[in-house]
């Protein structure tokens, strides 16, 4: 797959929307996450729309809700907008509690097509990798910025794994997700 200028435009939009945003714990520019997720997706598909959706997957929930979704639809088409919306846990500001957003996200994924699961799995793989890297630097302080208890975070990831195993069982991303989740579980068990 050769990415077109359409991907270039998606990157520029993501950079614009997320310019002021940082990741949890280690204050990395948020665009690093979007690039990482896009890279994981690009390594596992020939679908440019899906790679573009990966670049924009957090735009609606983090940067403007439905007006941002409308902009994505107008600039990148209905399919990209549908995939991004399927990966959105909330359009409300202020955002609902994390437990509620997790519940909504899991419900949306139950009926989502495989490409949405592939993108979601790539997103969560990168989140898990970052959590492990943060643990290596911060130790027990890893959990501090999260609004959910560590046990609830792990339970949510375990529920996601079940959905990925059901919807994209042949994808190597499921195995990568399992490996990253196992590291997080090991960290948690050492701390309890």
Residue 157: the pLDDT is: 98
Surface-to-core class of residue 164, CB atoms within 10 Å of its CB (0-12 exposed, 13-18 middle, 19+ buried): buried
> Which stretch of DSSP H or E encloses residue 88?
none
The confidence score (pLDDT) of residue 1 equals: 86
CATH architecture designation of domain 5-191: Orthogonal Bundle (1.10)
- Global pTM reads 0.96
Domain boundaries, the chain: 5-191
Q: Which residues of the chain have pLDDT under 50?
A: none
3-state secondary structure labels for all residues of 103-163: HHHHHHHHCCCHHHHHHHHHHHHHHHHHHHHHHHHHHHHHHCCCCCCHHHHHHHHHHHHHH
Contact 188, 151 (CB under 8 A): yes
Check: CB of residue 55 under 8 Å from CB of residue 119: no
Please tell me the predicted confidence (pLDDT) of residue 24: 84
Active-site positions? 61-62
Spatial CA neighbour of 89 closest among 132, 123, 114: 123
Q: Which two tokens mark 39?
A: 């890279």
Q: Which pLDDT tens digit goes with each residue over 145-155?
A: 998 999 999 99
């Amino acid at each position: 797959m050769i990415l077109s200028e359409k991907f270039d435009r998606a990157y520029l939009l993501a950079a614009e929307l997320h310019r002021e945003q940082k990741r949890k714990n280690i204050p990395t520019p948020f665009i690093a996450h979007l690039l990482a997720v896009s890279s994981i997706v690009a390594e596992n598909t020939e679908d440019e729309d899906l790679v573009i959706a990966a670049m924009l997957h957090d735009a609606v929930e983090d940067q403007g809700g439905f007006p941002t979704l409308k902009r994505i639809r107008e600039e990148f088409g209905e399919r990209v907008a549908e995939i991004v919306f399927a990966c959105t846990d909330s359009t409300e500001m202020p955002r609902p509690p994390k437990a509620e957003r997790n519940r909504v996200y899991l419900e949306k994924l139950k009926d989502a097509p495989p490409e949405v699961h592939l993108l979601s799995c790539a997103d969560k793989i990168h989140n898990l990798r970052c959590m492990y890297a943060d643990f290596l630097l911060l130790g027990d302080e890893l959990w501090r910025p999260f609004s959910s208890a560590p046990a609830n975070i792990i339970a949510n990831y375990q529920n996601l794994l079940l959905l990925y195993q059901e919807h994209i069982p042949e994808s190597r991303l499921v195995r990568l997700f399992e490996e990253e989740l196992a590291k997080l579980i090991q960290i948690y068990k050492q701390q309890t």
